[in-house]
């Protein structure tokens, strides 16, 4: 059976990408597709490697019924070979990911997460330095985008 592999990437892998990872994996499981879609997340920076996701992000996710249990890891050049789709949470993440691309033919695997947002493309704003409303905003973006992303990947799996 073909398995589609998707990697969410932000800067620290403790706020935006573990939320994308957790919420999307939740949608995948609800659709019964956990054997066909493999979900991971990582960061372009190494400062938080090994840490659990930020407590503020985990708390927002848990309040919406999605537990997050992930240890931060750094995005690696070899992930270009390992994953079918690499989703950048913002445009700086996208540039940093592409700077690690081992071959131009693999660059098309990188897309912006919000390319799948029904409310339009753009960055998922980094909530790290701001107040609680930033974390809720990240939740809203991720939640409304996850189902559209699942539709896209389901179509890819059928093609
Ligand atoms: P994330 O948020 O990229 O969504 O995980 C950040 C987490 C930590 C830092 C920056 C952004 N930091 O500078 O340590």
Mean pLDDT, 10 residues at a time, the chain of 159 residues: 96 98 98 98 98 98 97 98 98 98 98 97 96 97 98 95
**Domains of the chain by residue range:** 4-158
pLDDT at 159: 85
The 10 Å Cβ neighbour count of residue 89 is 30
Q: Which atom of ligand 1 is nearest to the CA of 53?
A: 5
Q: Measured between alpha carbons, how far is 158 from 155 in angstroms, rounded to an integer?
A: 5
pTM of the full structure? 0.98
List CB contacts of 12: < 8 A, sequence separation 6 or more.
43, 45, 47, 48, 72, 128
By most ligand atoms within 8 Å of CB, the mutation choice from 9, 13, 15 for ligand 1 is 15
Could you tell me if the CB of 21 is within 6 A of ligand 1?
no
Could you tell me if the CB of 15 is within 6 A of ligand 1?
yes
How many Å lie between the centroid of ligand 1 and the Cα of residue 68?
16
CATH of domain 4-158: 3.40.50.2300
């Amino acid at each position: 059976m073909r398995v589609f592999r998707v990697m969410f990437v932000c800067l620290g892998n403790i706020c935006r990408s573990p939320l994308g990872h957790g919420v999307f994996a939740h949608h995948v499981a609800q659709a019964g597709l956990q054997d066909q879609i493999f979900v991971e997340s990582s960061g372009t920076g190494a400062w938080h490697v090994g840490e659990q996701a930020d407590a503020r992000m985990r708390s927002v996710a848990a309040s919406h019924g999605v537990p997050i249990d992930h240890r931060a890891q750094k995005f690696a050049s070899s992930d270009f070979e390992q994953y079918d789709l690499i989703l950048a949470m913002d445009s700086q993440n996208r540039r940093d990911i592409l700077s690690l691309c081992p071959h131009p033919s693999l660059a098309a695997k990188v897309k912006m997460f919000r390319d799948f947002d029904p409310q339009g493309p753009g960055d998922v704003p980094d909530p790290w330095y701001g107040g609680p409303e930033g974390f809720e905003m990240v939740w809203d973006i991720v939640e409304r985008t996850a189902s559209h992303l699942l539709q896209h990947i389901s179509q890819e799996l059928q093609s």
